[in-house]
Amino acid sequence: MKKIPLSVVAVTPLHHYADTYSLVLEEQDGGGRKLAVTIGKAEAQSIAVLLDGIKIARPLVYDFIYRFANSYKIVVEEVIIANVEKEIYYSEVVCRIKGAPDDEIVRLDSRTSDAVALAIKFGCPIYTYEVVMSVAGIVGAPSRVDNDLASLGTPRLQQLLEKAIRREDYEFATKIRDEIRSRET
């Protein structure tokens, strides 16, 4: 099956449900389709911290897994969002064990939020298949927040970013960071 590369574009709160967030991934090839995966608050904050490269006092579980894996020569090669059934996503983390016979490949079942966090931490690609995109992919216009941020000057965005980080509102900080980065290219 052909793999479709994805990028994390946002982690946003779902206003109808307390402590529930949407992890939004978008096709990298310009197709415009997105996957919106519902995740918990802790997972959303961890992903936002990893995306922004924020240094925190104690390691996140993903930092620990990264160091543990490196100690045993395990590399996360890729993450695949392999299936979706009844709005539940099924993902796998594909690892290579360096030094094992033929650099052994291991596929691990994972919650999608954990798989994506590991992909960010290890700097590896995230993929899905057409069957997943055809069932769960959405095409949508930019959100009101995105349009509001686009209307602000870069110095104001920098101020908002610092404030969001101080408040530990990492989802909003990610949106601001993305808007600033889009202007740098």
How far is the C-alpha of 56 from the C-alpha of 49, rounded, in Å?
9
Mean pLDDT along residues 56-62: 89
pTM value surpassing 0.85? no
**Tens of pLDDT, residues 127-174:** 999 999 988 988 764 454 554 677 667 777 787 788 777 767 787 788
In this structure, what token pair is assigned to residue 62? 């993903």
Q: Can you give the pLDDT at residue 130?
A: 94
- CATH of residue 33's domain is 3.10.690.10
The β-bridge relationship of strands 74-85 and 126-129 is parallel
Same domain? For 157 and 115 the reply is no
What is the CB neighbour count within 10 angstroms for residue 71?
Answer: 8
Residue 70 predicted with pLDDT over 80: yes
Same domain? For 159 and 82 the reply is no
Q: Can you give the pLDDT at residue 31?
A: 75
Crossing angle for the helix pair 41-52 and 112-122, to the nearest 10 degrees: 10
Q: Based on the structure, what is the number of domains in the chain?
A: 2
**Tens of pLDDT, residues 98-136:** 888 888 999 999 999 999 999 999 999 999 999 999 889
Same domain? For 146 and 136 the reply is no
Same domain? For 61 and 14 the reply is yes
Q: Are 6 and 25 in contact (CB under 8 A)?
A: yes
Same domain? For 14 and 40 the reply is yes
Same domain? For 115 and 32 the reply is yes
Q: Can you give the pLDDT at residue 144?
A: 44
Least confident of 34-38, 82-86, 130-134, 163-167: 163-167
Q: Are 82 and 92 in contact (CB under 8 A)?
A: yes
Q: Can you give the pLDDT at residue 25?
A: 93
